Amino acid sequence: MNLNLASPHGTKCSPPVNPVISFFSPHSSDFHFDNDFDLLWQSNLKSVSSTWTLHRNGFSTPFKEGKADANLSNRYSTRIDTSELFPGFYDLKISVDLGNGKFETSSTTFAYKADEMFLYDSKPADFQEFWQKAKEEIDQVNLDARYESQLETFDEQAINTYNLAHSALPESYDPDGITHPTVDSQKVSFAGPDNGRVYGWLAKPQGEGPFPAMLILPGAGIAARPRPLEHARHGYLSLDIQIHGQDCCTDNYPQIDGYGKNEDFSAPKNFYYYKVHQRVLQALNYLDQRPDVDSSKIVVVGGSQGGRLSTVAASIDKRVAATIPCITHNGNHPYFTHAWKSNEAKNHGMDSETFDYDKSEENLCLAYYDVMNFSADIECPVLMNMGITDPVSWASHVYAVYKNLNCQKQIITLPNLAHDWCAEFDRRAWIWLKETLGEK
């Protein structure tokens, strides 16, 4: 659900996962713990010894260190004493001595009583009112929906070939979930904010429908979008949009002012993502008006920034029947600012659970965009995942979004995986969606 890149399929995992060192625990397969436990790691290289340091998640300064117990077969272990820990997430960073003056390093993250972790409440008093007004604004914009290309048909082999070359996906990773081997696809557009257009690729099962619909939202960056053929052959009328108001299939994307640089925090409405959120809401309007869509079964999915926007969409727009926000980015902003300040001061931050949160103009503005603040208002079922070693969407960020949910919810933790895709998660997600929507 979260690998929606317009690029060839690759087999290398994302950093900081190092394939020569793997972590595991006999006490928990998903690295969530409530009591003292053992963490183990194994190197595929000849080694002599190993050391470790323990950190709060995202904090550079350790509060504890030690030498690992050496075991047979290049395995090492250490016992974690949880009496010293606050509820939350921690990074164990290890170094393996290879005996020739060289060292191999890696890290893992684990949770201790994550459901009890402290969250600083930064949600503005007018949060819901602010975003309802944003929705009302875009609802007043006439869709002016257009087809921008001729309809093309893709059979099973053509979909496999396209996925490998253009959609960063392997061939038929979920053959049991395919319900419509042949799909149709074309480029579409509709009106967005500021008299602009929103462009995207539509793909749908052949036939009149109505079909359940799926909005696929992209990760960060300004880039081309792939056709959502895989989503369509799973039975969904699927739309993948370029959320920056630019074309969805060009090789030349200019940098946009306000996106990653020259941000305007002077007022929440001036921040760059205000119009991004409105484009997402307009995409839901587009799907809802199509006669071949079952409007009671509109779902939203995406990874990283797409996980962020999937959460936002489900929070603001109650037409969303289910959402799957993967490796969700930009949650729990107060924790990030606390960690950043502590890293600057070389402080491990263990002496304070009352976060030092500076109510600056920037932070007050970003409180309206913190995904953690959106998640509490979601009413539909939610399935999330979390790469436990993710250096982009920290575990402390993702789990804060999950913890704040007040709806039917489930999160799947992926040990030894960072900011990346997992075929088995997608297979389970397809099944979860069918069960949630009542599809046969």
Q: What is the pLDDT of residues 308-346, one digit of tens each?
A: 999 999 999 999 999 999 999 999 998 888 787 776 656
38-42 mean pLDDT: 96
Are residues 107 and 205 part of one domain?
A: no
Same domain, 360 and 211: yes
134 plus 64 within the same structural domain: no
Same-domain status, 58 and 106: yes
Which pLDDT score, from 0 to 100, does residue 153 have? 98
The token duo for 369 is 């965009």
Say whether both 211 and 356 belong to one domain.
yes
Quote the number of domains for the chain. 2
Q: Which of 116, 137, 156 is the last residue of a domain?
A: 116
Segment 132-143 mean pLDDT: 98
Instruction: Tell me which of 201-205, 226-230, 254-258, 394-398 is least confident.
Output: 254-258
Among residues 116, 145, 165, the one where a domain terminates is 116
Residue 353: per-residue pLDDT: 52
CA distances from 243 to 131, 192, 269, 273 (A): 18, 10, 17, 10
Q: Which helix (H) or strand (E) holds 282?
A: helix 273-289
Specify whether 180 is located in the same domain as 214. Answer: yes
Of 91, 116, 141, the residue that ends a domain is 116
How many whole angstroms separate alpha carbon 111 and alpha carbon 384? 16
Q: How confident is the model at residue 440 (pLDDT cuts 50, 70, 90)?
A: low
Indicate whether 312 belongs to any domain: yes
- Where would I find the H helices in 117-193? 127-139, 156-166
Average confidence (pLDDT) over 89-112 = 95
Give tens-digit pLDDT for 256-280: 889 988 999 999 999 999 999 999 9
Q: What is the CATH number of the domain that holds 103?
A: 2.60.40.1220
The answer to whether residue 373 is domain-embedded is yes
How many degrees, rounded to 5, is the angle at CA 113 between CA 112 and CA 117? 100
What pLDDT score was predicted for residue 167?
94
Q: Above 80 in pLDDT, residue 164?
A: yes
Domain CATH for 257: 3.40.50.1820
Query: For the segment 342-383, what is each residue's pLDDT rounded down to a tens digit?
Result: 766 565 554 455 556 778 999 999 999 999 999 999 999 999
Residues 250 and 316 in one domain: yes
Q: Which of 109, 63, 66 is nearest to 84 (CA)?
A: 63
Q: Which residues contact 345 (CB under 8 A, 6 or more apart)?
A: none
Whether residues 87 and 169 fall in one domain: no
pTM, entire model:
0.95
pLDDT given at position 344: 63
Same domain, 179 and 286: yes
Which residues constitute the domain of residue 201?
Answer: 127-437
Pick from 136-145, 247-256, 430-439: least confident: 247-256
The pLDDT of residue 350 is 46
125/128 Cα distance (integer angstroms):
8
